Amino acid sequence: MALSYSALREQMVDAARLLAQTGVLSRSGHGNMSVRLPGKDLMLITSISHIAHLQPEQLVVVNFDGEVIEGALDPTTREIIGMHACVYRERQHVQAVIHTHSPRVTSFALANQPLPCVYEAMLRFGIVEDIPVADWAPRGSEASVNNIVKQLRAHPLVPAVLLGNHGLLSFSQDIQAAAQLIVIMEEAAEMTLDARSIGGEKPFPADALERERQHMQRYGSLS
Ligand SMILES: [Zn+2]
C-alpha cells in the first residue's frame, strides 16, 4: 500500500540527506524533523532520533498533543512533539521544523550565547537579528517548551532558536528551506568562532539590519 503524503515524505528525506551531505549533523546523526499537514493541526514527524539515513516509512502522523494518528512512534521520540508543536502553534506561516545538534551552532547553545547576526548569507535567509537562546530545561518538559515559546514571542521575526546546553530549532515555509537555514547558521557559527581568533566578528553598518527588517516587513519574510 502506498504511504500517505508520499510527496512530503520524499521532501523530508531529501532535506535529511542535505543535512547529512553538508556535514551539519553532529557525529551521532541525531536530529528530528516535521512538516505541518496542509490545513490541519497535524504533522508528519520523524519516528527515529537519527536522521542521516532517514527513510520515508520512518515518518508518522501525529496531532499537536502527541496523539499518533497513523504509524508507530518510538516512545523515546514522543518527547520531541511538544518542541515541534509549539512552533506551529506560535507561527501560523511555519510549515516545517528541524532540530539538530549541529556542532558549531550548538557550541553557542552550550555557551548560552546568541548566534550573532554578522554574516551576509543570514540576511538572505530572513535573519535580521541574533538567534536567541531558550533556557535549558529537561528535554520534553513543559518548562523546556515554555522557554522556547518565550523566545518565539520575544523575537517574532526570528526563524530559529538555540536550545541552551542542547542544540537548535530551525523553522521555515518548507522543509528544504529549514534545512538550508541550518547550513547557513552552521557556516555563520563556524566563521564567527574563527573570526574570534583574529580580533572577533564585527557588526553590520548601523542601519543595515533595520533596512533589511523594513524590507522584510514590506515584502514578507522567507521564514
Ligand atoms: Zn536534541
Question: Residue 42 sits in a domain of what CATH number?
Answer: 3.40.225.10
Whether 64 is covered by a domain: the verdict is yes
C-alpha of residue 169 to centroid of ligand 1, in Å: 9
Whether 95 is covered by a domain: the verdict is yes
C-alpha of residue 74 to centroid of ligand 1, in Å: 15
C-alpha of residue 101 to centroid of ligand 1, in Å: 6
C-alpha of residue 57 to centroid of ligand 1, in Å: 21
Whether 164 is covered by a domain: the verdict is yes
C-alpha of residue 203 to centroid of ligand 1, in Å: 30
The confidence score (pLDDT) of residue 139 equals: 86
How many independent structural domains does the chain possess?
A: 1
The confidence score (pLDDT) of residue 126 equals: 83
Whether 182 is covered by a domain: the verdict is yes
The confidence score (pLDDT) of residue 208 equals: 83
C-alpha of residue 39 to centroid of ligand 1, in Å: 28
C-alpha of residue 193 to centroid of ligand 1, in Å: 22
C-alpha of residue 196 to centroid of ligand 1, in Å: 27
C-alpha of residue 92 to centroid of ligand 1, in Å: 24
C-alpha of residue 134 to centroid of ligand 1, in Å: 13
Whether 1 is covered by a domain: the verdict is no
Domain with 136, as residue range(s), is 6-219
Residue ranges for the chain with pLDDT beneath 50: 222-223
C-alpha of residue 5 to centroid of ligand 1, in Å: 26
C-alpha of residue 168 to centroid of ligand 1, in Å: 8
The confidence score (pLDDT) of residue 79 equals: 87
On whether the CB atoms of residues 223 and 217 are closer than 8 A, the answer is: no
C-alpha of residue 219 to centroid of ligand 1, in Å: 33
57: left (phi over 0), alpha (psi -120 to 50) or beta: alpha
The confidence score (pLDDT) of residue 137 equals: 95
Whether 49 is covered by a domain: the verdict is yes
Whether 132 is covered by a domain: the verdict is yes
Q: How many CA atoms lie within 13 A of 137 on its CB side?
A: 14
Whether 169 is covered by a domain: the verdict is yes
Q: Is 218 exposed, middle or buried (0-12, 13-18, 19+ CB in 10 A)?
A: exposed
C-alpha of residue 97 to centroid of ligand 1, in Å: 13
